[in-house]
Amino acid sequence: MTQPQTVTVKILDKDYPIHCPPQQRSNLESAARYLDGKMREIRNSGKVIGADRIAVLAALNIAHELLQHQGSSASAGNTHEQVRELLEKVDRALHEEAGQQQG
């Protein structure tokens, strides 16, 4: 089993050491860069002051993006299910038609 390593990520010019499995290092660094970018956007807007408030707003924005993405994924799955049901109806109708033509 691989031992966690300490990875230092920088968010809003502050270093955060985080224990992380080696195989997750790249994901952690990507997530930190994404969070840093979101927090910088909020800070640069000038509407929010304080790192804690900026962090909360960034977290809310990221959670909102995630929920929207999950909703669109669910819609895609729902669409797939609807298409499958339509194909089954067409298949049944074709079989019924073929049976009537034979009889």
Write the pLDDT tens digit of every residue in 21-43.
Answer: 999 999 999 999 999 999 999 99
Q: Which residue range is the domain that position 28 belongs to?
A: 5-102
What is the predicted pLDDT for the residue at 72?
A: 74
Q: Among 18, 19, 16, 15, which Cα is nearest to 4's?
A: 19
- Total domains, the chain: 1
pLDDT digits (tens, 9 = 90+) for 62-76: 998 988 888 776 666
Better-scored residue on pLDDT, 21 or 77: 21
85 vs 51, higher pLDDT? 51
Q: With contact defined as beta carbons under 8 Å apart, do 35 and 12 qualify?
A: no
Q: Is the pLDDT of residue 89 over 90?
A: no
Q: Please, are residues 65 and 37 in contact by the beta-carbon 8 Å criterion?
A: no
> Residue 9: is its pLDDT beyond 70?
yes
Q: Are 78 and 98 in contact (CB under 8 A)?
A: no
Q: Between helices 25-45 and 51-102, what is the axis angle to 10°? A: 120
Nearest CA to 71 out of 63, 82, 83 is that of: 63
Q: How far is CA 36 from CA 3, 76, 102, in A?
A: 27, 30, 69
What pLDDT does residue 103 have?
61
DSSP assignment letter at 11: E
CATH at residue 93: 3.30.160.880
